[in-house]
Chains A and B, each alone.
Chain A
Amino acid sequence: MSRIRAALRPESSFRRRLVAALLLATTGSLVFASGAFADFLTPESGGSPNADQIDSLYKIILYIAIVVFIVVEGALFYSLVKFRAKRGRVAAQIHGNTRLEITWTVGAALVLVVLAAVTFAKLGSIQNPPNSSPDGLNLAQGVLTASTTEPSPPNGKKLTICVTGRQYIWRYTYGANCKSNAFGLPFSYQEMVVPANTTVVLDIQATDVIHSWWIPKLGGKFDAVPGYRNFTWFKAPRAGELYKGQCAELCGRNHADMTARVRVVSPGEYETWLADQRQAIADANRQAVQLRKQLASDGVL
């Protein structure tokens, strides 16, 4: 008993060792957990350079944040332990310290200046799409557009897909003219098929309420707002991947069921798929026309 009591005395080496061990464990777990960060402390990434860049920007902020967290919470708990009321202890009657207060105000501001600088330095790689890789889809020379908001790779060659949100499904229209004249262009619902290593620019719109396009591994969210156009891009490096996401803005009762998938295929497979899809749509249209004729001749219509 007396040993334990002695051990709990503040001056005892046991307690000092305990504090040291705790500190070591904390820092150790922080260092070794950096692998685990990828799992639950950082955003999803790996499907597109912009998602990767957001992830690395996030990690920079996370490291600064951990330091700030430890310093502030540490100071708080240190003072709680150290300055608890005891017989004979008198509180220091201090009203402030101008120099100290200016120091921490400037210090906080400096941290934020650094964060702002890092963000603006990284912004280009997040907002501006790169050229498609040589093994990507062979695209025609891009058309120069007057839009200042639509992202475009340096050589102007991109695959444009119009994304249209409506309660409660996503529709994708493939082709450069999808915004001006979508008539006759191939389209699909819910699952988007894209060629690997190709810069894909999404032109995002909505027809009813606000939706939000989000495939976590392919970058951030972009709201689909009726009456507005929003843009984002991605460039998936590997064929054979399937990326999942779902609408991220409350759009009604079945908001949770408005899912989206992006299937990455090789450029060759993409062209085959597109031709098949075009064929399937044409067939379905023909069948619809025949059915309508049939119904008309039967006197139903």
Chain B
Amino acid sequence: MATTAPALKPVPQVIAHEVQAEPTRARWTEWFTTTDHKKIGILYIVTTFAFFLLGGVEALLIRLQLGTPNNNLLTPEHYNELFTLHGTTMIFLFVVPMMAGFANYFLPLMIGARDMAFPRLNALSYWLLLFGGIVFYSSLFWQPPEAGWFSYTPLSSEIFTPSGGQDAWIYLIHITGISSLVGAINFYATIVNMRAPGMGWGRLPLFVWAILIYALLLILALPVIAGAVTMLLTDRNFGTHFFDPTEGGSPILWQHLFWFFGHPEVYIMILPGFGIISEVLPVFARKPIFGYKAIAASTVVIAFLAALVWAHHMFAVPVPTVVLGFFMLSSFLIAVPTGVKIFNWIATLWRGTIEFTTPLYFAVGFLSIFVVGGITGIFLAVFPVDWQLTDTYFVVAHFHYVLMGGAVFTIFCGLYYWYPKMTGRMLSEPLGKASFWFMFVGFNLTFLVQHAAGLSGMPRRVYQYPADAGLTLYNQISTVGSFVLGFGILLSVVNFIRSYKNGAVAGPDPWKANTLEWFTTSPPPVNNFDVVPRIRSVEPMKDIRRQVERQSGIEHSETEGQPVTFA
């Protein structure tokens, strides 16, 4: 038995060397040939953020059109195209792949791996995403799709929407679908096989738990939509009649298939965001996550239930009452694990020492917004009430509270939290906080009144409303709010660009965080780590800092002051 005196054990320190060969080609070509998960992650994040800005401009055009009653700024045709582009972009080209971008960059780092399980497949998934986006947006030069992001048949059939834009939409779903599917398989294989020594399932960071379930949901849901859009493609171009009621097909079949994918998709979009929050809150509360097991388990339960609630999008179509009742109850059920997460997050803040950094602002912004979206979700789950609310601006408000809160605010939280790791530079805190306040206030101005507009009878997807319908004030507030929100986002863009060169040097662990990605340089070298420590808890970095303090005798207080920068 060889026993080593504790004093002789080496003090843990960040050792990570560049092992790259001397570049033989121009450096920028690396971005096209790379299989490094971090470079691919950055490609993902930059590309999807560009799509986010594009989708945002589309949203502002929609709000401009609705800013005054009977407005003729846009034709009904262009209006329909804009909301179709906006919805499709935000879902397929922003939120889902942005989460894949974070997962690409941070999943291997968080589990102590040197890359993804299949690095080339990983590159394929990025390039498919980019080309899917290009195929979709190239329809702008001909005729963009105009049947909505849900493309209900028969409206999306070739009789009623003959333009190729609808086919571009189908190809977008196919190409980005394959991209997400191989990406999901890659994440799953990486998490299952490549964890650091000692990282059992009970020590997996919660962000990684969320990505694991995100991957499983994608693997479950994507084949269904791939099949459905293939049927739509053959209906449109090759004379089949899957969805054509005059030939024995069923328009409702499309809705079932679409929402069987579409509702899990909602959780695909927000579970990774939940994961980011579960990482950020404990860091800035300086307190372990409250109820690790409950949060991980609720993620699994949400994923299971997510596959059983799809028809709550279809309460107004002809379905028997027993079906309505089933989907109401299953939608109620999914509120329980979601509520559990919220309670656990608040309990994580409780009796902590909260440091008000920009990532924490966005995390708290997410919490306060998402609670509203969760509560209005209950209204919509009660099917007789849904009969009044569905397809109105109440629903628009509800899902923006869920998705702007659950995805956009969590993505900004992740960007502010991880930017120092990805670039080696700190972002400006004052600019970040200003951006947060503009976004938060602008968001609530835009969407809170939309509940009222919907309750007063304003349906979705209308390009005009009459002046005497009592909707003018609501829409004016909403339009003003959307520009405040847009300005807030712009401030963050300025922050991201400016800090890239001018930000304070971050050092390996500026936030004194808990997970392994902070145990390497910022940005990390290609191989990530020279040495991966043995994992003994959910918070390996905390363990490492404690060991350093013990062995070096230098104490770092974790409960006081602003984040420490390693000079």
Contacts and interface: CB of A to CB of B under 8 A. Distances in A.
B285 A91 contact: yes
Contacts of B335: 108, 112
A210 B152 contact: yes
Interface stretch (B370-378, B436-444, B548-556): B370-378
Interface string A197-240: 00000000000111010101001111101111111000000000
A88 B251 CA distance: 65
A82 to B, nearest CB: 9
Interface residues of A, number: 86
Nearest to A79: B349
A85 B353 contact: yes
B285 A119 contact: no
Contacts of A253: 76-77, 80, 146
B533 interface: no
B367 A212 contact: no
A201 to B, nearest CB: 14
A115 B382 contact: yes
Contact of B339 (A104, A210, A225, A251): A104
9 contacts: A68-B375, A76-B346, A76-B368, A79-B352, A89-B559, A116-B329, A123-B321, A246-B462, A253-B80
B352 A91 contact: yes
B562 to A, nearest CB: 9
A83 B340 contact: no
B321 A127 contact: yes
A230 B387 CA distance: 13
Contacts of A226: 154, 245-246, 251
Interface in A108-161: 108-109, 112, 115-116, 119-120, 122-123, 126-127, 149
A227 B80 contact: no
Given A44-B388, A119-B382, A212-B316, 20 more contacts: A42-B455, A57-B384, A69-B372, A72-B342, A75-B346, A76-B364, A85-B559, A91-B351, A92-B287, A95-B292, A96-B294, A108-B335, A108-B336, A115-B378, A149-B320, A210-B251, A223-B318, A225-B245, A226-B246, A249-B316
B328 interface: yes
Contacts of B246: 226-227
B561 interface: yes
Contacts of B391: 212, 214, 221, 248-249
B131 interface: no
B305 interface: no
Contacts of B342: 72
A176 B383 CA distance: 28
A40 B455 contact: yes
Contacts of A222: 316, 318, 387
Interface string A77-91: 101100111111111
B390 interface: yes
A227 B452 CA distance: 34
Given A220-B387, A228-B252, A69 B462 contact: no
A65 interface: yes
Contact of A79 (B160, B294, B350): B350
B356 interface: yes
Contacts of B385: 43, 54, 57-58, 61
A227 B332 contact: no
Contact of A112 (B148, B332, B456, B461): B332
A255 interface: yes
A296 interface: no
Contacts of A120: 325
B351 A83 contact: yes
Given A220-B388, A250-B155, A115 B353 contact: no
Given A80-B364, A214-B459, A256-B76, A86 B160 contact: no
B471 to A, nearest CB: 11
Contact of B353 (A83, A112, A123, A250): A83
Interface string B526-563: 00000000000000000000000000000000111100
A247 interface: yes
Interface of B: 76-77, 80, 146-148, 152, 154-155, 160, 245-246, 250-252, 285-294, 316-318, 320-321, 325, 328-329, 332-333, 335-336, 339-340, 342-344, 346-347, 349-356, 364, 367-368, 371-372, 375-376, 378-379, 382-392, 451-452, 455-457, 459-465, 558-561
A137 B330 CA distance: 42
B155 to A, nearest CB: 4
A112 B334 CA distance: 11
Contacts of B378: 61, 65, 112, 115
A96 B293 contact: yes
A298 interface: no
Nearest to B318: A230
A61 B455 contact: no
A73 B372 CA distance: 9
A61 B387 contact: no
A249 B287 CA distance: 48
A84 B289 CA distance: 17
Nearest to A89: B353
B285 A76 contact: no
A225 B321 contact: no
B147 A250 contact: yes
Contacts of B349: 76, 79-80, 83
B82 to A, nearest CB: 12
Closest 10 CB pairs of A and B: A220-B387, A227-B245, A256-B462, A40-B452, A92-B351, A43-B388, A85-B353, A96-B291, A108-B339, A91-B286
A250 B388 contact: no
Contact of B316 (A41, A109, A221, A246): A221
Contacts of A54: 384-385, 387-388
A252 to B, nearest CB: 6
Nearest to B562: A85
Given A127-B321, A209-B155, A85 B355 contact: yes
A29 interface: no
Contacts of B372: 69
Contacts of B456: 40, 44, 216
A240 to B, nearest CB: 19
A105 interface: yes
Contacts of A123: 321, 384
